[in-house]
Structure 1
Amino acid sequence: MDENEIRKALDRHWAASDANDFDVEHDIYEEDAVLEYPQSGERIRGRSNIQASRIAQPNSKRFTVRRIVGAGNLWITEFVLTYDDSPSYSVSIMEFRDGRVSRETQYFGAPFAPGPSRAQWVERMG
């Protein structure tokens, strides 16, 4: 799978994630894929378990992709994951094998107030 095809697969994955289309969302994963959430210390093994864990999530969620960068078998997506109107700034690191994700690590960060000590050098983002 070339990089253009991987990019299309990622676009499809994130669009399906936002639409709660769990079947299409999980097409991107190998059967033996591993998903890790380092901040909570969780590891989920297997595409079916990854999918089941996401289906079980009771919160309303939305995904807004900010950017996707990558090359070869390593791709990173920056996105805002909004659960029940509460945003979390997130990063997904995906490792591909034979055109599918074999490992994904996701990091989440809550928004915080800007620091007044650096205000003179800061351009506020929308």
Structure 2
Amino acid sequence: MDDRGIREALDRHWKASDANDFEAEHAIYHEDAVLEYPQSGERIHGRHRIQSSRAAQPDRKHFEVRRISGSGDLWVTEYVLTYDGRPSYTVSIMEFRDGRVSRETQYFGDPFAPGSSRAQWVERMT
């Protein structure tokens, strides 16, 4: 699959994620895919287990993709994942093999108050 095809697959994946369409969301993964959450120390092996773990999440969630970049077998998505109204700034690193995700690593960052020591140099983002 070329870069354009992967980008289209990623767009479908994130739209399905936001819609809680678990079948469509996980169509992008190889059967033997691995998902890692370094901050919690979790690793999930296999497309079915990844899908089951996400379907079991009780919280209401929303995905807002900010940027997707990559080429070849390595793609990064920056997005805001909001659970029950609480945003988490997230980075998903996906490694592809034969047009499907073979490994994904997700990092999460909670919002924090701006530092007063740098206020004179910053522009507030909305």
The two structures have a TM-score, normalised by structure 1, of: 1.00
1:48 Cα deviation after fit: 0.0
SS state of the match for residue 59, structure 1?
A: coil
Aligned AA for 2:68? I
1:9 Cα deviation after fit: 0.1
Which residue in the other structure is 2:111 paired with?
111
Which residue in the other structure is 1:68 paired with?
68
2:91 is the alignment partner of 1:91:
yes
2:10 is the alignment partner of 1:20:
no
**Percent identity over the alignment?**
77
Structure 1 runs not aligned, ≥5 long = none
Aligned AA for 2:105? T
2:113 is the alignment partner of 1:82:
no
Which residue in the other structure is 1:33 paired with?
33
Which 4+ stretches in 1 moved above 4 angstroms?
A: none
The two structures have a TM-score, normalised by structure 2, of: 1.00
**Counterpart Cα distance in 2 of 1:64 and 1:98:** 27
Query: Cα deviations across residues 42-89 of structure 1 (Å, max 9, x unaligned)?
Result: 000000000000000000000000000001100000000000000000
Structure 2 runs not aligned, ≥5 long = none
CA RMSD of aligned residues (A): 0.3
Query: Cα deviations across residues 21-48 of structure 1 (Å, max 9, x unaligned)?
Result: 0000000000000000000000000000
SS state of the match for residue 40, structure 1?
A: coil
Aligned AA for 1:61? K
